Chain A
């Protein structure tokens, strides 16, 4: 029957008050934890997707849109650029590698991405079954696409124009699935990959006249170029050169992601602040409960002192009560944070948006117990001190 058990006995004796304080603490910790988990998961996911890409080049427009469309495929592209100017750019000695992306069509809400095998290498994609394409109209499915559509190697499908389902269908251009990729945890999982020629073929049709073919081939376009620098020095001059000397636009993923996060960050800050307010409310509620207990239990405290309890033990008992609540509230809050993240994750998965692993638990989350413990400690400070100072003789004499 030590102080901890004694403290617990008092908490158990008033279950409703205990529950209220635990819930308030849990709500505060849960809200802050939710923001932390989601922010972290989105940040990790975006970083994985943007890894190895130094620069995105596309049609002029909003740089954030270009990045969202070119790397994360969360937005429609800003437009197209001509294949010729893309090929011109690729010759620049500051550039090590250029990966072209042609985006025009989709299949059941997943983008059909005309590109080169380099794109799959960029995300360390590996085949789970089948083989890569070796001709036009052959497609490799990302893991999520295969999972959601239920299509396998050998199956055939047609793309529809734009991203929305039910858009105009390219009914005469039939793709065949030749391979399925293993999950990579990147944007690759949510793409249908084909070679660039396939995208051109779908939109040009089968042209036999050599004159006409020459004209059309001269007008070919790509949507986005993913650029890897040959040297870090390229970051200094290349984006400026592209933006000022060509009719293309260059955007740095690192910079634009940071800018985007600063914008979303306001929303995150608001939610976090709300969590802070709830936590402050929890501290206040706890303070009132303990202060109340001080009066209710004045005689109990006096009896404990007659049994030989030191003032510091009495203070410790009240502090322990607060800390027990803080730990319970903190742990419940962490569960709540993950639960909320799971709800958001399932919603985002339905939108084929950024994947969130809601139940990924890291040891760092234990830091979320700190605000809870801090709130409890602050709330218990004054009541504990008062309890230690109480005049025992006077309390006993009053009742006697």
Chain B
């Protein structure tokens, strides 16, 4: 599902470099990206999502080398094949729960499919609140809608950036279970970047990033 080869990413300005020589994630498998704060977990996620481009090496997602795509094609690829869940589970505040899913379909260039969106909300257990605006939803409901939005275009890969870091133990377990069951149900690979050790009990496969070396490298 993901293949990283001799990956290098040089941060702007500083001499810091993210290095990852070899990494492969099999389809329909889960992995935690762990490491100390500032080691580049988010950067790695953004590289896999095509939000950043590597300064060396290649990122291949579902057989597609992201660097080989034009910027618009890369945006489209992301919209159709990669689901992303952010730390705040951020929903667009001016749109209802349903509209948040429909806009994801529309922006990815897919047909707007209200039925599919409704089913995905039902799968996440929030089909009762489809016409509610984000501020009318509980935090838990917002998380579910955000996960439904990330999955509505049937991606093969779901990326989650620190989805549990601000949550108490109960909520943490609930979100982790939600992510795992939803990805399993829809045959999606899951990559979670986190420093939250509580998740290690749920997902055994781990990629540990070392603390970033301070000196510059090639």
Contact = CB atoms under 8 A, between A and B. Distances in A.
B104 A399 contact: no
A400 B90 contact: no
Contacts of A303: 86, 90, 92
Contact of B99 (A1, A300, A310, A400): A1
B86 A309 contact: no
A97 interface: no
A313 B107 CA distance: 9
A127 B89 CA distance: 80
B88 A9 contact: no
Given A307-B108, A310-B72, A396 B94 contact: no
Nearest to B105: A1
A129 interface: no
Contacts of B75: 305, 308-311
B67 interface: no
A191 to B, nearest CB: 62
A392 B75 CA distance: 12
B129 interface: no
Interface residues of A, number: 27
Nearest to B91: A303
Contact of A304 (B88, B92, B93, B99): B92
Interface string A1-22: 1100110011011000000000
Interface string B72-109: 10011111100010111010111100010011111111
A313 B109 CA distance: 11
Specify the main secondary structure of chain B where it touches its partner.
helix
The residue in A306, A311, A393 that gathers the most chain B C-beta atoms within 10 A of its C-beta is A306
A6 B79 contact: no
Given A1-B102, A1-B103, A400 B76 contact: no
A304 B106 CA distance: 11
Given A299-B90, A393-B46, A1 B95 contact: yes
B51 interface: yes
The residue in A303, A311, A313 that gathers the most chain B C-beta atoms within 10 A of its C-beta is A303
Nearest to A12: B94
A307 to B, nearest CB: 5
Contacts of A313: 107
A2 B42 contact: no
Nearest to A11: B94
A396 B95 CA distance: 20
Specify the main secondary structure of chain A where it touches its partner.
helix
A381 B117 CA distance: 34
B94 A399 contact: no
Interface string B39-82: 00011001001011000000000000000000110011111100
A200 to B, nearest CB: 79
B108 A306 contact: no
Contacts of A5: 99
B93 A396 contact: no
A396 B107 contact: no
A360 interface: no
Contact of A308 (B42, B86, B95, B108): B108
Contacts of A396: 42, 46, 51, 86, 161
Given A396-B46, A400-B161, A307 B104 contact: yes
Contacts of B90: 299-300, 303
Interface in B108-157: 108-109, 112, 149
20 contacts: A1-B103, A1-B106, A6-B92, A6-B103, A9-B94, A9-B99, A13-B93, A299-B88, A299-B90, A300-B93, A304-B103, A305-B51, A306-B51, A307-B79, A308-B107, A308-B109, A309-B107, A392-B51, A397-B43, A397-B46
Task: Please give me the 4 A-B residue pairs with the lowest Cβ-Cβ distance, nearest first.
Answer: A308-B79, A1-B102, A9-B94, A13-B94
